[in-house]
Amino acid sequence: MVRAASKRKALAETRVKEAPKIESLKLSEKELENEEDLLGNIASSDDDSEDSDDYESSEEEQLGDEEEEEEEQSNEETGDSANSGGSDYESSDAGPSRELISEANEELPDNDKDEYESGDTSDEEDLRNTVGKIPMHWYDDYPLLGYDWDGKPILKPERRDELDNFLKRMEDPNFWRTIRDPSTGQDVILNEKDLALIKRLQERKIPNPDHEEYKPWVDWFSSKVMTTALRPIPESKKSFLPSRSEREKVSKMVHALKMGWRVPRAELEAQRAKEKEEGPKFFDLWSADGDDEMKRRGIIDHIPAPKRTLPGHAESYNPPAEYLFNERELELWHKQSETPWKRKWHFVPQKFPSLRAVPAYPRFVKERFLRCLDLYMAPRTRKNKLTIQAEDLLPELPDPKDLQPFPTAQSLIYTGHSDIVRTICPDPSGQFLVSGSDDCSIRVWEVSTGRCLKIIAAGAEVSSVAWNPSSHLSLLAVAAGKRLLICSPQVGSTEKLTATDELLAVPPEVDSTTVVPERVQTAVKWEQAEGKDWDDGHRVVVTHFKDLKQAVWHGRGDYLAVVVSEGLNRSVIVHQVSKRRSQIPFNKARGLVQAVQFHPVRPMLFVATQRSIRIYDLVKQQLVKKLMTGSAWISSMAVHPGKLVFLGK
């Protein structure tokens, strides 16, 4: 820019010197000036045009005239501007502008390209100025223009006077397009291309004539979704997968929306609009507390604080004489200091000549404080008494009539036993009933008719009978005296009976490796029934060290628990019939065991002592729960398949 300005200055000087002007040139000059303005505007965005150095230097050799230099300069500038201004074009446009310059310089013999391609050696004879890029007017006072490659001074060409110019104009048809290269002082004749370029610049067209200004626009980046990607690379798999972080963000937002922490913008705007419409809300600070307010504070049925009585005459600074205490009254007032509530007034009425003379009330702060304390401490809410009748708390009892599937009338009497019947147990199917009696026998009855089907002698008073719950076995456990008899009922399914007999006919071989603990050995003796006993129905006899109280089967029908009365720490014994084996599960006696029971489904053992029931888990071998019944004496127990335990006292 600076350079351009200096050039312009130099040009102006020359103009002043050369008074007579040729019209055509003048015209061109004028246009050039315009051009310069334009260039200045453009060039203001970029001052240096260094990148086009090589062109310049090559051009400078040929351009002699200052004017021509001017032209060239402007040309060069244009190229630059086109180049630099291309920053807002696309980079694709930079190409053409470069091209343009090279094209523009094509004809010039000093062009690098031309040098090598055409084999033109003219540049060797060329006067190449080596002074560099300096304002040429620095050499104005010297006879030389600079120095050539060999270091020889380039002399300024001789100045032609007006006449010479005129004559030349007359003679030389190319005069109008001859300019002087200021750096070499040589005359340069502009060729057609240069002229065309100048003309285009003057018309403010894009310098490249091949540039198609109105070529059809290809809308590459339209809003339309293309079927095929613009890029040849296939879409990555990632781009199809929903982003996890995005999803998290969205879910957070949705959650916030759901919880009401965040309000959608539309809703928020609607709210604001509504608020605006309704106008500002004010809180009535001075309104009395209504019921709603009290309720909000959690005070139900509020009792307002008592109002202070208004001051009477006695409180006056100038009370009537009758209110003033006489001596007796004052004495009384002082005497009642122990019992202040008996005083007539809680103060001594005083008389002052004027309001100004009234002193500060000494108890003011204390009384205020007490009043505030009273207001604060007293809840002033009515307490609600519970008005529930005791009868309402009792559950509604069902009508005893509705509680009947249980029998209400005697249906059958099973007659036959000659002594007390101690125990009964029904067959799992309900067809038979077994009963044990003090007449040392058990009887098997047909439930539906009361027919006694079998009598099995037990040998001692029978304390407990139990029918095996297994669906494959037909067995009875009979606790008679010290003996536990495992009997065949000899009724019911014949297949089951024979299967059971086969199972029990041969005692399992005693595994010599298993050591029976002495505790067990002394308590229990297993025997196989034979001969007459077998025919009677006895199958296996287990003799215990004390009398038996109870025998119960486990739900599977293999295990059998017995309670030994006065057995102390051996009062519960568990037998396994299939292996003829016994175990004593408890080492310590925890009270007198009254009854044991297996859970019908779960692996649990219920042991009832006189006052409590202990529930043991048979798998984990540990105490699960202890139930305290509160009853004086548990004598029997039944376990429901659910969770209930029934007790008999």
Partner 1 sequence: MAESSGAQLQIKLVTKQSIYAVPDIPYSVPSEIVCAELNTLVNELLKDTVSGGSVEFDFLVSGELLRTPLVDHLSERQVSTEEVVLIEYVERFPAPEPTDCLEHDDWVSAAQSCGKWILSGSYDSTLHLWNRKGEHLLTIPGHTGAVKQVSWVDIGGEICSFVSASQDQTAMIWQWNQTSNSVECVHVLRGHERGLECLAVDPTHTYIATAGWDKVIKLWSTIDGLTDGESSPKKSKFDTKSSLMNFEGHKEAVSAVQWSEDGEMISASWDHTIKVWDAELGGIKKGALVKCTFTSHTEWVQTVRWSSNLEYHFISGSYDKQVKLWDTRSPKAPLFDLSGHQDKVLCCDWSNPEYIISGGADSSLRVFKSKIAFAA
**Residue 185 or 492 with smaller CB distance to partner 1:** 492
Nearest to 422 by CA among 443, 398, 394: 443
Candidates 145-153, 166-174, 213-221, 445-453; binding stretch for partner 1 (CB under 8 A): 445-453
- Select the residue interacting with partner 1 from 450, 469, 600, 603 (CB under 8 A): 450
Candidates 281-289, 377-385, 427-435, 519-527; binding stretch for partner 1 (CB under 8 A): 427-435
Query: Least CB distance from residue 454 to partner 1, whole Å?
Result: 12
Number of residues that bind partner 1 (CB under 8 A): 15
- Select the residue interacting with partner 1 from 41, 449, 522, 635 (CB under 8 A): 449
**Residue 229 or 413 with smaller CB distance to partner 1:** 413
Within a 10 A sphere around the Cβ of 156, how many other Cβ atoms? 16
Q: Which residues neighbour 635 within 8 Å (Cβ) at sequence distance 6 or greater?
A: 594, 595, 648, 649
**By the rule CB under 8 A, 490 interacts with partner 1:** no
Copy the structure tokens of residue 266: 């539309």
- State the Cα–Cα distance between residues 463 and 479, nearest whole angstrom: 6
- Select the residue interacting with partner 1 from 51, 495, 535, 566 (CB under 8 A): 495
Region of 380 please: left (phi>0), alpha (psi -120 to 50) or beta: left
Query: Least CB distance from residue 536 to partner 1, whole Å?
Result: 19
Name beta bridge partners: 362: none
**Residue 324 or 499 with smaller CB distance to partner 1:** 499
Could you list the beta-strand ranges (E) of 440-521.
Answer: 441-446, 451-457, 462-467, 476-480, 483-487
Which residue, chain included where needed, has tokens 């990607």? 229
**Residue 448 or 635 with smaller CB distance to partner 1:** 448
**Residue 225 or 409 with smaller CB distance to partner 1:** 409
Nearest to 135 by CA among 74, 66, 191: 66
Query: Least CB distance from residue 574 to partner 1, whole Å?
Result: 31
Query: Least CB distance from residue 495 to partner 1, whole Å?
Result: 7
- Select the residue interacting with partner 1 from 295, 451, 472, 626 (CB under 8 A): 451
- Select the residue interacting with partner 1 from 492, 537, 557, 567 (CB under 8 A): 492
- State the Cα–Cα distance between residues 117 and 108, nearest whole angstrom: 13
- State the Cα–Cα distance between residues 133 and 7, nearest whole angstrom: 12
- Select the residue interacting with partner 1 from 14, 102, 350, 493 (CB under 8 A): 493
**Residue 300 or 412 with smaller CB distance to partner 1:** 412
C-alpha distances out from residue 54 to 48, 102, 105, 358, Å: 14, 11, 12, 110
Q: Say how many residues make up the chain.
A: 649
**By the rule CB under 8 A, 431 interacts with partner 1:** yes
DSSP code of residue 394: S
Candidates 241-249, 309-317, 331-339, 448-456; binding stretch for partner 1 (CB under 8 A): 448-456
b/e sequence 32-46, b meaning 16+ C-beta within 10 Å: beebbebbeebbeee
Q: Give residues 398-417 in contact with partner 1 (rule: CB under 8 A).
A: 409-412
**By the rule CB under 8 A, 430 interacts with partner 1:** yes
C-alpha distances out from residue 398 to 390, 402, 646, Å: 18, 7, 20
Query: Least CB distance from residue 431 to partner 1, whole Å?
Result: 5
- Select the residue interacting with partner 1 from 336, 494, 498, 569 (CB under 8 A): 494
**Residue 146 or 492 with smaller CB distance to partner 1:** 492
Query: Least CB distance from residue 411 to partner 1, whole Å?
Result: 5
Q: What is the binding site for partner 1 (CB under 8 A)?
A: 409-412, 429-431, 448-451, 492-495
